[in-house]
Amino acid sequence: MQEIRLFSGEMIPLERHKVRIVQKLELLPVEDRLRRLQEAHNNLYLLKNRDIFLDMLTDSGVNAMSDKQLAAMMDADDAYAGSETFFQLEEKVQDLFGMEHFLPAHQGRGCEKVLADLLIKPGDLVPMNYHFTTTRAHIVRCGGEVLELLCEGGEICTSDEPFKGNMNTTALRSLLESTQRNIPFVRMEAGANLIGGQPFSLANLQETAAICREHGVLLVLDASLLQDNLYFIKSREEACSGLSIREITRAIADCCDIIYFSARKFGFAKGGGIALRDIALANPLQELIVLNEGFLTYGGISVREMAAITVGLEESMDETIISQGPEFIRFMVDELVRLGVPVITPAGGLGCHLNAKEFVPHIAADEYPAAALASALFIAGGIRGMERGTLSEDRNADGSEKFASMELLRLAVPRRVFTLSQIKYCIDRVHWLWQNRELIQGLKFTREPKILRFFTGELAAVSDWQEKLAARFRSDFGDSL
């Protein structure tokens, strides 16, 4: 989906697919939105889908499937062991990555679990461009520690830097030269999720791989958000503009020893998998897959989903298809910048990210600014985003808060799901909220789980600010929803 110029001169991202199945959406009145939010204890994960108008929580497992994926699902070969559908998926992964072994897992964190169980020992250090919540949880569970070596400027919210997800290769080199700690692998994350879906460049990955090889350390790629990263390499990295998406994919894979992915994102379906070259690693991983995920020819994925992943991976090689998400996000980011709303720039993949530190600077970090903003946007528009900030961090061992360096509200744009008018509606409600930001205040926990607290924790507003926000909405919009 490249941009299209209208007769008026306006440039818009134009959907290059048509909708053939739809799901009806309800838009509840603002008073009901407020009530449902409070019944869900201000945790948007605890909302019921029927209460949400635009679900921008995540791009995980909620991307629209193509006609070809649905057709393949009908034709899937159902067997506990030896399913033909698995072999087709295996062949597709081998074809794209040039790696001999493929192990299926039920989703991305299933891959992370078995990799951590095999590779991490207490005291190990795992350098990476940036962590992801479930990745770090598994490494820490096995006694390891994560060290982020993001490139300089990667965490600067407003920037022109096209590859903010790059590894700081100088820091990586000096770490590998000097450390006494055991480093089981270096991890690179494509389209680094928690800093706004920001990509690495192929040149940076190649340099990272060369350093790893020099020091005999494995390079593991988390390819869950590879699709967006591929598009950014193609469109932003001059040296790669003449390469096809397939060639870029292979060049990336050539750098890596192990690639794992969540097919809830990469593959437009539901599942996951690990690709690798070394049989000495594949064998013990197979044992862990059988123990934790399922037999080696399904790994916890239904055969229908495996069939959909196979087609989805092939569709991910089509630039017209993979540009849809990033181009919609860029449209959102450009419009919000024009309206003065603080967002992460340049636009990344996965979603548009509001910078809560600047949106609601009056909210203290321990009252969860990004989570408060997320609850406010649900009141303003029935839109469910996801907090990516301090609330997404678990506390330090001494019980103190681990303050996130970035406080973001992520508005995910699941691939091929929303229309441009829905995106425009979202921009409008964010703009209204920006104009009324002084009304937004913080949240506090009323029930706080110890692990991954953002999923199931319960919160309350620190005052009656949410009632006041809903009242302001009613007075500004009259009878309109």
Ligand X SMILES: Cc1ncc(COP(=O)(O)O)c(C=O)c1O
Among residues 119, 137, 209, 225, the one that binds ligand X under rule CB under 6 A: 225
108 makes contact with ligand X (CB under 6 A): yes
* CA gap 199, 211 in Å, rounded: 19
Among residues 41, 44, 56, 60, the one that binds ligand X under rule CB under 6 A: 60
224 makes contact with ligand X (CB under 6 A): yes
CB 284, min distance to ligand X, A? 21
80 contacts: CB under 8 Å, gap ≥ 6: 295, 297, 298
CB 285, min distance to ligand X, A? 17
* CA gap 468, 291 in Å, rounded: 52
Among residues 90, 148, 207, 222, the one that binds ligand X under rule CB under 6 A: 222
323 makes contact with ligand X (CB under 6 A): no
Q: Which of 68, 78, 80, 320 is catalytic?
A: 80
* CA gap 413, 56 in Å, rounded: 6
Pick from 154, 160, 157, 153: nearest CA to 191: 154
CB 183, min distance to ligand X, A? 20
199 makes contact with ligand X (CB under 6 A): no
In the bound state, the residue with its beta carbon closest to ligand X is 108
Half-sphere exposure for 279 (CA within 13 Å, toward CB): 0
Q: Which of 133, 173, 277, 334 is catalytic?
A: 133
355 makes contact with ligand X (CB under 6 A): no
Active site residue 454: yes
Active site residue 318: no
- Which residue, 169 or 262, has its beta carbon nearer to ligand X? 262
407 makes contact with ligand X (CB under 6 A): no
Active site residue 388: yes
- Which residue, 107 or 466, has its beta carbon nearer to ligand X? 107
3-state secondary structure of 451: coil
Among residues 129, 169, 193, 297, the one that binds ligand X under rule CB under 6 A: 193
129 makes contact with ligand X (CB under 6 A): no
CB 292, min distance to ligand X, A? 13
CB 22, min distance to ligand X, A? 26
* CA gap 385, 378 in Å, rounded: 8
Long-range contacts formed by 144-149: CB under 8 A, 24+ apart: 144/116, 144/120, 144/184, 147/175, 149/175
3-state secondary structure of 347: coil
422 makes contact with ligand X (CB under 6 A): no
In the chain, the amino acid numbered 384 is R
State phi, psi for 22 to the nearest 5 degrees.
-130, 160
Structure tokens at 265: 């994102």
83 makes contact with ligand X (CB under 6 A): no
212 makes contact with ligand X (CB under 6 A): no
CB 189, min distance to ligand X, A? 5
Write the DSSP assignment of 325-345 as a string of letters. HHHHHHHHHHHHHHTT--B-S
132 makes contact with ligand X (CB under 6 A): yes
Active site residue 231: no
* CA gap 119, 185 in Å, rounded: 8
In the chain, the amino acid numbered 38 is Q
166 makes contact with ligand X (CB under 6 A): no
DSSP 1: -
Binding pattern to ligand X, positions 261-290, x when CB under 6 A?
A: -x-x-------x------------------
Angle at Cα 48 formed by Cα 436 and Cα 134, nearest 5°?
85
Active site residue 208: no
Q: Which of 55, 59, 124, 222 is catalytic?
A: 222
As a dihedral over the C-alpha atoms of residue 31, residue 32, residue 35, residue 38, rounded to 10 degrees, the angle is -110
CB 391, min distance to ligand X, A? 16
Cis peptide, bond prior to residue 346, ω within 30 of zero = yes
Active site residues: 80, 132-133, 222, 265, 388, 454
Task: Give the footprint of ligand X on this chain (CB under 6 A).
Answer: 60, 107-109, 132, 134-135, 189, 193, 222, 224-225, 262, 264, 272
